[in-house]
């Protein structure tokens, strides 16, 4: 993205030194960053990274890029733990055979360039996502030899999706955990390289906000879309202030330079929350923190189980998160807020040093050494890794810690031939239905970081995908949870809550709704002042 033609850089020159000083102290200004259009209803949110200039509705998958998309574009609907929320669609009909889903669109919705939003745009968006592998990884529209989800416009305001076979989690398949955003055919048709196109500089969307200004490494500013189909947004501007230094972020929220910031429990303990009129808003993202063992390097299941029996989840979670109010201990691959979560179905690997030593002796490896890779810039992972090292040592297991850059770690985890890390630290936020977790464990999947094939799991996940009877699905996914635990490849640790700190000007969080990945379901429903 580049700065839009409507942006202005020098607020001081426009408003005078006195007015500028007042606004710089209150509205999203950190250091020498100046957003000219800030007013009394500007909402400024400090984010820890720059989405960059290639944010687009097809291939973008990072948190901050997705947060940007959610302001600029709209989805047909969202599928959350509390149900379905409609946006461009007003509702849908499902056929008796569970193969067809017909969505009805809102009337009178327009793109930010004034063109109407039609069913043809929906068809174009979904077909583009379906035929772009990196994009379809975040939804599920193409099932290879089993067929594709067909999308057709019945008329200007009606779209029908036809699945190649019955899928119990069809709605979630249509949206994926990150959402499928509808984008205009008349703008994107013919584009082949979505990450390198001038369209990204001035995106045309139908979301609650329109890109107003982007300054690389500094901020992204959005102005309210007064023609938004769900009413004029509360904040006149939303500014994502890019603050990568944690101390600077902590100072910014405490001085009122920003209205919201994500903190860790350790940072909350350091802050003057009440004195500065701040509020800590913990919420779950359904995120599961875990360690995964590369079975190519540790093929003996007894050795893997020995490691698990040497660990103490509670100690590790407390070392990482610091406050027991801000995490839930995890025992299965599903988050604790999942309707299918069943800790009673699995081997929990409660700490047992004697058993760990016995298993190592049986394997003929009384003192194995594992190299453990984790993100060295993540304080939670660092603290957890140190406790894991300490726990394992009591069972005679030596763990060499390697704190590395997160992208390098991610690359190594995906590489089945990587010989460097026996164990890696990871975390995931997936969908609501357990079917969406399939890629983490499916044989041959690039997201199967344990790098093992398991025909039993493959079959169970395949059964769960097509089973529409709720009771039978619970039985299937109980078996899935048990099998994953028995293989001792993934050791789930905790689900840490995300801590949103808000300043005294922020109201309406209940209406805006705190959700995974994006922070807000509808940031436009905030009230600032």
d(CA 197, CA 190): 11
**79 shares a domain with 67:** no
**458 shares a domain with 331:** yes
Using DSSP, state whether 529 is helix, strand or coil: coil
379 located within any domain: yes
pLDDT at 502: 98
**171 shares a domain with 92:** yes
pLDDT at 64: 94
Query: Which range of residues forms the domain containing residue 381?
Result: 288-496
**144 shares a domain with 276:** no
**326 shares a domain with 449:** yes
pLDDT at 33: 53
523 located within any domain: yes
What CATH code is carried by the domain that includes residue 404? 3.10.105.10
Across 287-311, average pLDDT: 97
d(CA 204, CA 88): 16
Q: What is the 3-state secondary structure (H, E, C) of 212-250?
A: EEEECCCEEEEEECCCCCCCCCCCCEEEEEECCCHHHHH
d(CA 377, CA 23): 33
Question: Based on the structure, what is the number of domains in the chain?
Answer: 3
CB 376 within 8 A of CB 403: yes
**79 shares a domain with 221:** no
**299 shares a domain with 269:** no
**478 shares a domain with 380:** yes
**448 shares a domain with 338:** yes
17 located within any domain: yes
The pLDDT-based confidence of 45 (bands split at 50, 70, 90) is very high
The pLDDT-based confidence of 32 (bands split at 50, 70, 90) is very low
Per-residue pLDDT tens over the stretch 249-258 = 999 999 999 9
**489 shares a domain with 422:** yes
pLDDT at 4: 32
Residue of 346, 368, 345 lying closest to 356 (CA atoms): 368
pLDDT at 12: 26
| Torsional class of 52: left (φ above 0), alpha (ψ -120 to 50), beta (otherwise) | left
pLDDT at 137: 58
pLDDT at 27: 45
List the structure tokens of 136.
Answer: 């379809």
**524 shares a domain with 491:** no
Share of the chain above pLDDT 70, in %: 93
Per-residue pLDDT tens over the stretch 188-229 = 999 999 999 999 999 999 999 999 999 999 999 999 999 999
Per-residue pLDDT tens over the stretch 369-416 = 999 999 998 889 999 999 999 999 999 999 999 999 887 888 888 887
pLDDT at 474: 97
**245 shares a domain with 274:** yes
d(CA 2, CA 211): 10
Share of the chain above pLDDT 90, in %: 78
202 located within any domain: no
């Amino acid at each position: 993205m580049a700065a839009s033609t409507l942006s202005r850089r020098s607020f001081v020159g426009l408003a005078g030194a006195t007015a500028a000083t007042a606004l710089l102290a209150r509205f999203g200004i950190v250091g020498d960053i100046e957003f000219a259009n800030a007013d009394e209803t500007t909402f400024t949110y400090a984010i820890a990274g720059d989405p960059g200039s290639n944010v687009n509705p097809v291939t973008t998958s990072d948190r901050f890029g997705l947060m940007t998309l959610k302001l600029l574009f709209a989805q047909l609907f969202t599928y959350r733990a509390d149900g379905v929320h409609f946006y461009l669609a007003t509702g849908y009909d499902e056929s008796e055979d569970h193969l067809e889903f017909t969505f009805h669109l809102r009337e009178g919705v327009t793109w930010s360039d004034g063109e109407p939003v039609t069913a043809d745009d929906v068809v174009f968006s979904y077909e583009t996502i379906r035929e772009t592998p990196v994009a379809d990884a975040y939804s599920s529209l193409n099932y290879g030899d089993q067929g594709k989800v067909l999308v057709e416009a019945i008329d200007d305001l009606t779209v029908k999706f036809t699945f190649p076979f019955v899928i119990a989690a069809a709605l979630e398949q249509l949206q994926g955990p990150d959402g499928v955003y509808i984008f205009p055919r008349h703008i994107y048709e013919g584009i082949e390289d979505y990450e390198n196109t001038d369209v990204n500089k001035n995106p045309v969307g139908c979301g609650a906000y329109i890109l107003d200004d982007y300054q690389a490494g500094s901020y992204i500013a959005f102005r309210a879309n007064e023609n938004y189909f769900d009413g004029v947004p509360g904040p006149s501007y939303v500014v994502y202030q890019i603050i990568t230094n944690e101390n600077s972020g902590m100072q910014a929220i405490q001085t009122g330079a920003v209205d919201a910031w994500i903190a860790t429990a350790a940072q909350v303990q350091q802050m003057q929350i009440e004195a500065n009129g701040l509020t800590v808003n913990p919420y779950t993202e359904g995120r599961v923190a875990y360690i995964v063992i590369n079975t190519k390097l540790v093929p003996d299941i007894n050795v893997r189980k020995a490691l698990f029996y040497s660990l103490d989840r509670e100690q590790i979670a407390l070392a990482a998160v610091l406050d027991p109010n801000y995490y839930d201990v995890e025992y299965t691959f599903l988050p604790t807020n999942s309707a299918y979560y069943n800790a009673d179905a699995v081997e929990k690997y409660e700490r047992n040093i004697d058993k760990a030593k016995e298993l190592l002796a049986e394997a003929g490896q009384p003192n194995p050494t594992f190299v453990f890779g984790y993100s060295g810039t993540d304080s939670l992972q660092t603290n957890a890794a140190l406790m894991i090292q300490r726990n394992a040592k009591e069972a005679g297991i030596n763990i060499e810690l390697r704190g590395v850059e997160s992208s390098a770690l991610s690359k190594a985890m995906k590489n089945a031939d990587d010989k460097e890390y026996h164990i890696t630290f990871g975390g995931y936020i997936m969908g609501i239905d357990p079917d969406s977790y399939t890629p983490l464990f499916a044989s041959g999947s690039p997201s199967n970081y344990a790098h093992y094939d398991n025909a039993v799991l493959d079959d169970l996940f395949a059964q769960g995908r097509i089973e529409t009877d709720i009771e039978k699905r619970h039985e299937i996914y109980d078996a899935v949870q048990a099998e994953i635990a028995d293989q001792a490849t993934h050791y789930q640790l905790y689900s840490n809550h995300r801590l949103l700190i808000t300043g005294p000007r922020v109201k309406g969080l209940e209406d805006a709704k705190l959700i995974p990945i994006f922070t807000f379901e509808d940031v436009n429903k905030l009230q600032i002042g």
